Structure 1
């Protein structure tokens, strides 16, 4: 009789071809067998009767702030939060740590911290900022997932936006390295000019903030980046796109054969500008939440397959940074805290719009794995792949409270929101890290994941020291 480390029995397993009743057998962190009725015994068994088993989510866009700003969010609390939401791999953005991840030394320092503390697996973005063009090759050779740059003002002195010359030079180098550039695409000229106009008039409210970051600012930046991509040959990934007009530009570029992908975020699907009006800075982000009509357009575009992936853009901070004095919304930190809820948000949208679960698995797992060169081990439930699983109950609702939100700071736009589904369990390379909806108090099981062709984890990290 075959022996397994773990068997997940009787679940509705979400495969690329659809949903099938199956057992999943795990050996040494890998999926060793999938069968309707798996014969064998295991050290651990999970009864998934009545539950759905999806590939663990890969969230390619989170902001943990370690080292340097762990009091905002660090690997320990952040990764536990991701695990609670069915995420088994996250990619940490390069900008909010001190130092930012713009040198190989900073990359390796951050990777060591992640290997020591993370509950789930992780990848690391490198940064493109003015002056670090010569650091791009060492970062690529060190194992970054790709590079991130801002066309708009960052508000972070450790990670400045790129000017056009830096962007073009960086894109040419990134193309030569075979990497991808992720872009925050809002026109700095448009947004900064409009902001100055509002501040001069003493207008600091929710409607004023939205007016300073119009859809046209996103469209202009996206279009400019696409032109630069055509010149340099650089592959692009557009982060947190918030408008149908910007998606149309990206769709046209794809039709021309350009190497470009696009994400949107859970908060743009579940919330809209009314939430900023009603709840204030807790709902502030950039690009901003759009009007309700635009929110509906984004949902329709997602259902039509126009977005390649869904992310959280989890961007937390101590809450006093969200509480500006004198009611000046422009002074509040602009970011949504909610990394735990992207898979649940995807399921909510899917259930409300009749979207098949295999599309959810593509947006949250297989498409990210393929785009960022992890598909040799992650993104699908198949024999030989890492045993990364999100186990959900589609019939049990989940209301977000400070007590069941695992982030360091419990203030979130999602508090009080009720999802129609619940994450029951999360498995990372065969280790059960969430059971009964609660994060297990076990040693950190996560490891640094590099693109295919690199060794994975601490062994490669040590070899480069």
Structure 2
């Protein structure tokens, strides 16, 4: 077996560069680490023993993506998604590391015992590396520090009902108890930032037709998000040492709150999702529950402001929030948007989606990689291991064709339940090959992960 992998390309995206430049990267396959980077394109010479050569030519070499918001659902709901299919989909889109959310598996990742069940279920199934978030629910404050010591990267909580009984939301008092427990640790506290109250929903009553997207959109107004973020930032003033993170921001009206929190020195980070940046409520047809997610996709003007928030740095990173379910729960035949499970399946498409939409807005591939790789790695506590093509980091990289165009079909989707709002969409930019720690884990010419590409993902 080769001891070294050498990847040479004329367009390699190295840290600190705004455009790809010529480079040759050497990876020690035995350790999986990048050991050397030469800032020139070195053409292949005589084949040396123990060296595997990858010539990317004019294609772009990018660091592997880190998707810090993925629901893999195993154990307990493996018919929704599992480690094998979910990570297979991930590497097909250049995602070499995913961070699994504490729900919707059964049991949720709210105790060390439950985390161990996750580890057991994931063994020998992962095509990408996998890390784990823990969960905050009523009554588990005593489990938080043991979970942190066991390796979770932080904790997620809900301020509104989550949609699954085993992961209830927390009250303000319960939230404060958790913040007290975590304030002097390395943890980050993640919030599903919607806060329901009679005041926030009294104007949210439109049509009662459950097939209309407008009915659903009016049921989840932006005020749910702004009220939640106002509460979070007010609590942060009492617990300033604890980093708080807003997951899947959809409401642009929250950006002034975030700007004010940053100006006040609060340790607040924010993510948004591919669907909020690439879809628009005005283009969503009625009777199509595959577009339903919580919080909802909003109007085009809102989408434009989210892009501006990204460029300004108010929004730190972009993730998938891949949240699948079995097709029956999507109620596709009935077209019942209100009754359908809320979640959009995206794993494998995110880089192409952002490139397709971002090009219209003057966004560069370097900006996209910052939002989807280096910043997400830092957010998940993996910033010294993942997200950069740098000596000492894991040799995770992808070979990317920025000019390739393809139409999304169900056959191309590699996650388990092939329901997605992106089916039928034509995208630009495609991953040709994905390498994890210097080993090939995806090759488009082999139609994915063939039998000789065994799952080599590690649990981080």
User: Does the pair score TM above 0.5?
Assistant: yes
Structure 2 distance, partners of 1:166, 1:155, is 19
SS for the counterpart of 1:370 is helix
SS for the counterpart of 1:58 is strand
Give deviations 1:4-63, integer Å, cap 9, x for gaps: 521222241111222211121111311122221447845422221121111100000011
Structure 1 distance, partners of 2:118, 2:321, is 19
Whether 1:330 and 2:330 are equivalent positions in the alignment is no
Whether 1:90 and 2:89 are equivalent positions in the alignment is no
Q: Quick check: 2:395–2:435 contact (8 Å CA) kept in 1?
A: yes
Q: Structure 1 residues 193 and 10, CA, compared in 2 at 3 Å: closer, same or farther? A: closer
Q: Structure 1: give runs of 5+ residues left out of the alignment.
A: 450-465
Q: Quick check: 1:194–1:212 contact (8 Å CA) kept in 2?
A: no
Q: Structure 1 residues 328 and 421, CA, compared in 2 at 3 Å: closer, same or farther? A: closer
Alignment equivalent of 1:34, drawn from 32, 37, 52: 37
1:310-459 matched pairs, under 5 angstroms: 310-323=318-331, 328-436=336-444, 438-441=447-450, 442-449=453-460
Alignment equivalent of 1:173, drawn from 168, 181, 191: 181
1:209-288 matched pairs, under 5 angstroms: 209-233=216-240, 234-278=242-286, 280-288=288-296
Q: CA deviation at 1:162?
A: 0.8
Q: CA deviation at 1:397?
A: 1.0
State the match for 1:207 in structure 2: 214
Give deviations 1:344-386, integer Å, cap 9, x for gaps: 2222233222223222221111112223321221110011110
Q: Quick check: 2:179–2:239 contact (8 Å CA) kept in 1?
A: yes
Q: Determine which structure has the larger helix proportion and give its number.
A: 1
SS for the counterpart of 1:119 is coil
Structure 1 distance, partners of 2:390, 2:199, is 46
State the match for 1:457 in structure 2: none
Q: CA deviation at 1:197?
A: 5.4
Alignment equivalent of 1:101, drawn from 75, 99, 109: 109
Q: Quick check: 2:358–2:364 contact (8 Å CA) kept in 1?
A: yes
Q: Structure 1 residues 59 and 152, CA, compared in 2 at 3 Å: closer, same or farther? A: same
RMSD, aligned α-carbons: 2.1
SS for the counterpart of 2:238 is helix
Instruction: Give me the TM-score of the superposition, normalised by structure 2.
Output: 0.92
Q: Quick check: 1:276–1:289 contact (8 Å CA) kept in 2?
A: no
**The 10-residue stretch of structure 1 (18-27 or 152-161) with the greater mean CA deviation from structure 2:** 18-27
Q: CA deviation at 1:300?
A: 2.4
SS for the counterpart of 1:46 is strand
Whether 1:184 and 2:192 are equivalent positions in the alignment is yes
Q: Structure 1 residues 203 and 436, CA, compared in 2 at 3 Å: closer, same or farther? A: closer
Q: Structure 2: give runs of 5+ residues left out of the alignment.
A: none
Q: Name the count of aligned residue pairs.
A: 446
Instruction: Give me the TM-score of the superposition, normalised by structure 1.
Output: 0.91
Give deviations 1:409-446, integer Å, cap 9, x for gaps: 11111111111101111111111111136422222111
Q: CA deviation at 1:326?
A: 6.2
SS for the counterpart of 2:284 is helix
SS for the counterpart of 2:7 is strand
SS for the counterpart of 1:231 is coil
Q: Quick check: 1:191–1:212 contact (8 Å CA) kept in 2?
A: no
Q: Structure 1 residues 191 and 137, CA, compared in 2 at 3 Å: closer, same or farther? A: farther
